[in-house]
Chains A and B, each alone.
Chain A
């Protein structure tokens, strides 16, 4: 079993929809929780970064961490076609980050 499990998708939503992306993890030692966005043939780009349970908001994006359930989520409000990409969750202990396998999101105009 992988340390980080991510809902595989793919996910297709109409423009303006609220998107929910989710990951679970098994290693309670993970200290930091991240969400990355990756476009085709590009490297991942950091979207959100948290280190405690609770919510963190940045514009249309909200990251939620529940350490007691070992569960993290990313919510995208008012989704746009430009949000179409693969979203990767990642968790870090010390210097090493462990990634989920990504959820591919398509936002249709």
Chain B
């Protein structure tokens, strides 16, 4: 068990550019989540997958955000036409679905939009 891995750890981009983040979950976990966290706030739910199916997406999520999990393993989160308000820590978590489902988080990708 190598834990949840996120890449890159840090991303600095200019407003208007597209960025893509990758998450590799714990290998046997079938659920994968994306959260966003800003300073002084708790993680905010963005979306989650069970295997390759995207089961829920936050109503607050702009159309500029898209996530995929094509083969039910790793996932990517893309933000198009970044804005300064997108600056945040993007957290990925994974879990094994079941009664005692527990989330395991990665260390996150810190995005700074200049």
Give A95's nearest chain B residue, CB to CB.
B48
Nearest-neighbour CB distance to chain A for B50, whole angstroms, equals 7
- In whole Å, how far is A38's beta carbon from the nearest beta carbon of chain B? 9
Pick the residue among B31, B40, B100, B103 that contacts A101 (CB under 8 A): B40
A residues in contact with B56, CB < 8 Å: 95-96
CA distance A70 to B108 in the complex (A): 30
Interface string of B30-59 (1 = CB under 8 A from A): 010101000011111100101000011000
In the complex with contacts A43-B106, A96-B56, A102-B42 CB distance below 8 A: yes
Residue-wise, chain B 75-95 has the 8 Å CB interface mask toward A (1 for contact) of 000000000000000010100
Query: Chain A interface secondary structure, helix, strand, loop or mixed?
Result: strand
Q: How many of B's residues come within 8 Å of A, CB to CB?
A: 27
Closest to B110 in A: A41
B43 touches A99 (CB 8 A): yes
A10-38 contacts to B (CB < 8 Å)? 32, 34, 36
A43 touches B107 (CB 8 A): yes
User: Is A88 a contact partner of B107 (Cβ separation < 8 A)?
Assistant: no
Cβ of B112 to closest chain A Cβ, rounded Å: 13
Given A43-B91, A49-B100, are A101 and B45 also a contact pair (CB < 8 Å)?
A: no
- How many whole Å from A63's CB to the nearest CB in chain B? 14
Shortest 4 CB-CB distances between A and B: which pairs?
Answer: A43-B105, A99-B42, A101-B42, A99-B43
A→B interface (CB under 8 Å): 4, 6, 32, 34, 36, 41-46, 49, 88, 90, 92, 95-102
A-B CB contact pairs (8 Å), 10 listed: A6-B42, A36-B105, A41-B108, A42-B108, A43-B93, A44-B103, A45-B105, A95-B31, A99-B44, A101-B41
